[in-house]
């Protein structure tokens, strides 16, 4: 297992390329985490303007993703990286795609602020900020693990996904009950359900990043985790129809 920081390449500009890739991923990750935080803040504050700002800053992440992709392909073509270099470049490529998805989920959540703001606040809503805090921390830590090439932190993030799933499960049940109480609650609850689902997906993606970081750093895969999202098996309602997985 090789986790100690690598020495410099004989070809210095190769190191420069790799550094550039890390910088871009770091920047992109910071943006995405910010988007998640701001979208949740907008939801909590029911602030449509703030939400609009989140939606508008999403293309920046997409631009950086394109940049990462270009640089990664150029690096593969020019440097023919092998072993941990190869794993790192591929990791950058995969992580950038994942971060882009995280950004998309944040954007999707922000878009729902408008509808939420038109209805009165609902009770189970209180779980969302807490869930978002954990998810945001996961994203943060996953990126940290990437920046530090720290497989242990990555494994830690990976383990945390279960608690996010548990939050989601409890929120899911709370919303089901809430909707059954009063059909008027269905619209805001559905939005809330999607927001929660998005947050859960962001958590999954943070986990993906952690997996990629772990493989990149150690060359070994994290063994398949126990999926804790039990809603797929919940048969009382047919809410999972349009969800992928």
Q: Which residues bind other proteins (CB under 8 A)?
A: 2, 4, 6-11, 14, 80-87, 219-220
**Closest CB 214 distance from other proteins, rounded Å:** 12
Structural tokens at position 44: 């909590």
**Closest CB 224 distance from other proteins, rounded Å:** 14
**Closest CB 226 distance from other proteins, rounded Å:** 22
Closest CA to 112 of 39, 37, 35: 39
Long-range contacts of 107-110 (CB under 8 A, 24+ apart): 107/35, 107/39, 107/54, 107/55, 107/58, 108/194, 108/198, 109/39, 109/40, 109/43, 109/194, 109/195, 109/198, 109/199, 110/35, 110/38, 110/39, 110/42, 110/43, 110/51, 110/52, 110/54, 110/55
**Burial of 58 from C-beta contacts in 10 A (0-12 / 13-18 / 19+):** buried
Q: Which is nearer to other proteins, 44 or 86 (CB)?
A: 86
Q: Which is nearer to other proteins, 81 or 188 (CB)?
A: 81
Q: Which is nearer to other proteins, 94 or 185 (CB)?
A: 94
CB 146 within 8 A of CB 95: yes
How many Å apart are CA 157 and CA 145, to the nearest integer? 9
Q: Which is nearer to other proteins, 71 or 116 (CB)?
A: 71
**Closest CB 220 distance from other proteins, rounded Å:** 7
Q: Which is nearer to other proteins, 19 or 133 (CB)?
A: 19
**Closest CB 196 distance from other proteins, rounded Å:** 36
SS3 48: helix
**Closest CB 15 distance from other proteins, rounded Å:** 9
CB 147 within 8 A of CB 97: no
DSSP class per residue in 144-160:
HHHHHT-HHHHHHHHHH
Q: Which is nearer to other proteins, 1 or 235 (CB)?
A: 1
Q: Which is nearer to other proteins, 83 or 180 (CB)?
A: 83
**Closest CB 14 distance from other proteins, rounded Å:** 7
């Amino acid at each position: 297992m090789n986790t100690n920081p690598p020495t410099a390449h004989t070809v210095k500009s190769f190191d420069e390329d790799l550094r550039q890739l890390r910088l871009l991923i770091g920047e992109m990750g910071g943006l995405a985490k910010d988007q998640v935080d701001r979208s949740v803040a907008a939801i909590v504050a029911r602030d449509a303007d703030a939400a609009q700002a989140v939606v508008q800053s999403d293309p920046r992440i997409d631009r950086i993703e394109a940049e990462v992709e270009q640089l990664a392909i150029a690096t593969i073509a020019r440097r023919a990286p092998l072993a941990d270099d190869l794993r790192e470049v591929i990791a950058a490529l995969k992580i950038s795609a994942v971060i882009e998805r995280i950004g998309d989920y944040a954007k999707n959540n922000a878009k729902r602020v408008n509808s939420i703001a038109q209805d009165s606040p609902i009770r189970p809503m209180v779980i969302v900020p807490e869930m978002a805090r954990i998810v945001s921390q996961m994203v943060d830590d996953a990126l940290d693990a990437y920046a530090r090439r720290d497989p242990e932190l990555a494994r830690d993030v990976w383990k945390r996904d279960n608690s996010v799933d548990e939050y989601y499960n409890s929120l899911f049940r709370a919303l089901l009950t809430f909707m059954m109480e009063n059909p008027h609650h269905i619209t805001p609850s559905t939005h809330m359900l999607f927001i929660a689902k998005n947050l859960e997906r962001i958590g999954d993606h943070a986990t993906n990043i952690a997996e990629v970081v772990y493989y990149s750093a150690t060359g070994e895969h994290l063994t398949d985790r126990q999926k804790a999202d039990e809603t797929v098996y919940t048969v009382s309602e047919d809410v999972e129809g349009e969800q992928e997985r």
